[in-house]
Amino acid sequence: MILTTSDPVCIARDPASLEPEWSELARRRAYPTVFLTPDWIRLARRHDRRQQITLGIADRGIAALARDADGTISFAGGEFTDYQDIVAASQDVPTVAGALAEWITAERTARIRLDFVPEETGTIGAMSPVLTAAGYEVRVERLVTAPRMELPGSFDAYVQG
């Protein structure tokens, strides 16, 4: 593969050097969440013994990852985050997610486990073809979310039924 200057490249970076850009990207996501901010990931990483990897992806996105002792790669945050994903503006998700999948295949990682990635972001959909083409078996398991109901505008209206 010949890389041109327009090809997205994943580069391992010091998380602190990315904080301003990372914060802005986290704010501009289609579905912003505190769990993908540099502050939250820094806190979660203090309690995570796995090898931590932060990738800057072509000035368009960031992937905070962790590698288990057996080599399995997952998003950083583990059990301390409710949402895990790449950090990119919505229009850049396909490019950034595809580049991350290419990086994973280049690492020859035996196993990837991506938990708590919201379906609506498109990350898994963009990564799946790249991983499948590289010989990975991709399985998607849907999360069962908590039930929701519409509530009236006031407690009194709720009590009155």
Q: What is the pLDDT of residue 51?
A: 95
Q: Which two tokens stand for residue 160?
A: 């009155």
CATH number, domain with residue 123: 3.40.630.30
Does pLDDT of 10 surpass 60? yes
Note whether residue 61 is domain-resident: yes
The pTM of the full predicted model, rounded to 2 decimals, is: 0.82
- Provide the domain limits for residue 131: 10-142
Note whether residue 128 is domain-resident: yes
Number of compact structural domains in the chain: 1
**pLDDT (tens digit, 9 = 90+) per residue, 37-95?**
999 999 999 999 999 999 999 889 999 999 999 999 999 988 888 889 999 999 999 99
CA torsion angle 102 12 112 125 (round to 10):
-50
Q: What is the spatial distance between Cα 79 and Cα 47, in angstroms, rounded to a whole number? A: 10
Which of residues 145 and 29 earns the better pLDDT score? 29
Note whether residue 147 is domain-resident: no
Q: What is the spatial distance between Cα 80 and Cα 46, in angstroms, rounded to a whole number? A: 10
Place of tokens 């009590």: 159
Q: What angle do CA 113, 116, 119 make, to 5 degrees?
A: 105
Note whether residue 1 is domain-resident: no
**pLDDT (tens digit, 9 = 90+) per residue, 113-122?**
998 898 888 9
Does pLDDT of 123 surpass 80? yes
